Amino acid sequence: MKTSTQRWRRSVALALMGVGIAGLARAQPAPLPAERGTLGRLDTNVAYSLFLLSNGAFTSLGDAKYSGENTSAKLEVYNLPLTFRFGTGLLGPVELRLEGGYGEAKTVTRQVSSQGSGLVPGALAAERQYFSLWKLRFDIGRPILLTSGLVLTPFAGLGTQRWSGKLDRGAVGAAPLPSERVTFWADTLLVDAGAALEYQHRWGALSIRPGASVNHVRLSSAGGRATYFPPAPAAPQRGKASIDAESTILRGALSIDGPLGFRVRTTELRWQTFVVGNYSTAGIGLFRWTVELGAAIGADLGPLGRSVLGFDPGELFVGVSYIAGENLSGVRGNFGFRF
């Protein structure tokens, strides 16, 4: 059985059928030039890291920067999940979640070309990569009260993603290196399943909520095209592009909130601090783990929502957070009905 790491290496990078860089989609790089295999694996790392940052439990917008030995990247993510809770006669309480979002990654990789690569040996080459990701996902969960304050929510969902981007490879400085470019788009079908466990404890006026979740995601190709532009005077070559991958993501979180000491008419304002940790079981990516620390202010809109709208919209919080990982750091703005 192949591991999730092998599956990501095999398939997240562009699978350009009939094009010279088809080796990017295999577990082992193609022997075309030596640098191209390395850069192909980086494509997978960047795509997977963008996928990780674009998944979250609350609305966020902001960017994070990665800086490695030969690689620098800027990843921007905009995520909007909407959660609805209601009761049903057959299943009992049900939680529906509709999530939309956008992300993009800009990456620069520099390295020295080697003998046998077809380029000038010893010259410095750079590859600039741009990925964008649009996503839409629908999840349904069934909260199960295990004990007082302890809730387990199994969930499953479907979604779709549209990936697009380009890769430019050329010279750094005055070295006469040929330039290459790849442009692509790819659609994927997303299927996910998992469970979240949350405990809520009241300590005086404070509300303390630790939680953990596991989420398994499967991406299946739904079509795509790519075009390879080799150095002049060679003609462009076209083929298929696909993304077909799976991974498991582990999360842990802790939030503490309490009264701020102010009211807006009958609505009490509250403060909140939170920490969220993410870990990916796949052995690839620019980073495998992230930790996010944040603070927010908000209010319980339940009484106002029930009297004006006829339903309880929950607690609304607005705040800011700092995210860090291996060679990664960034600041994000957050808002949502529950962190």
Return the CATH number at 193: 2.40.128.130
The range of the structural domain enclosing residue 321 comes to 4-336
Interatomic CA distance for residues 327 and 92, integer angstroms: 45
Closest CA to 24 of 188, 180, 178: 180
Interatomic CA distance for residues 47 and 249, integer angstroms: 15
Of the chain, the end-to-end C-alpha distance in Å amounts to 37
- Alpha helix segments (H runs only) across the chain: 4-11, 34-53, 302-308
pTM: 0.74
Q: Which amino acid type is present at position 175? A: A
Per-residue pLDDT of the chain (339 residues; tens, 9 = 90+): 344 333 333 333 333 322 222 223 322 222 333 334 344 444 677 777 887 777 665 567 778 888 877 788 888 888 888 777 777 777 788 988 888 889 898 888 776 555 444 445 556 667 788 889 999 999 999 999 999 899 999 999 999 999 998 888 766 655 555 677 888 899 999 999 999 999 999 998 898 999 999 999 888 888 888 888 887 778 888 888 888 777 888 999 998 988 888 877 777 888 989 898 988 887 777 788 889 999 988 887 766 666 666 666 667 778 888 988 888 888 888 776 554
What string of DSSP letters covers 242-281? Answer: ---EEEEEEEEEEEEEEEEEEEETTEEEEEEEEEEEEEES
And the tokens for 50?
Answer: 């963008």
Who's near 84: CB < 8 A, 6+ residues apart?
95, 96, 97, 98
Domain count, the chain: 1
